[in-house]
Amino acid sequence: MKRQLVYIAGAYRSKWGIIGRIINIWRAYRAARRLTRQGYVCIVPHMETALMDGIQSDEWFLAASLKKLRHCDMIFMIGHWTQSEGAVAELKEAKRRGLKVWFEHRDKPEGQEPDLPEVSIPPVISVPLPYKLESVENKS
């Protein structure tokens, strides 16, 4: 029996800089762990290119991700994917190719029922940080 290949898509960058990127990588990892336990094989671009910012252009990384997506049977949209241009592009490509689309519970559009039991990924930071996070985008 062929194992189903699932592409994990969601926000990578964050207005919180490296801390936000690490949180988003962790969210993708958690989703992949749950799906792997259920017998799926996962492609997790967040982890494959973790913290490689600046090595190639954003367009290069998106093109590489879309190439990987072409080999998948389905896509699983996680954590604030609607705020990510890359994740939205990945979803459009998945739909264009007729892949099965699953949504994490908190991101599920109205009326869209996932084919998989809802996967709720808890927030990463559950303890107060010893410093205040500031938005990187707001700095000049």
**pLDDT tens column, 67-78:** 899 999 999 999
Per-residue pLDDT tens for 3-40?
899 999 998 888 878 888 888 999 999 999 999 998 99
CATH 3.30.1330.10 for domain 5-107? no
Sheet arrangement for strand 5-9: 41-43, 5-9, 74-77, 100-103
What does the pLDDT read at residue 136?
42
The pLDDT of residue 128 is 41
Tell me the pTM: 0.72
For the chain, domain boundaries? 5-107
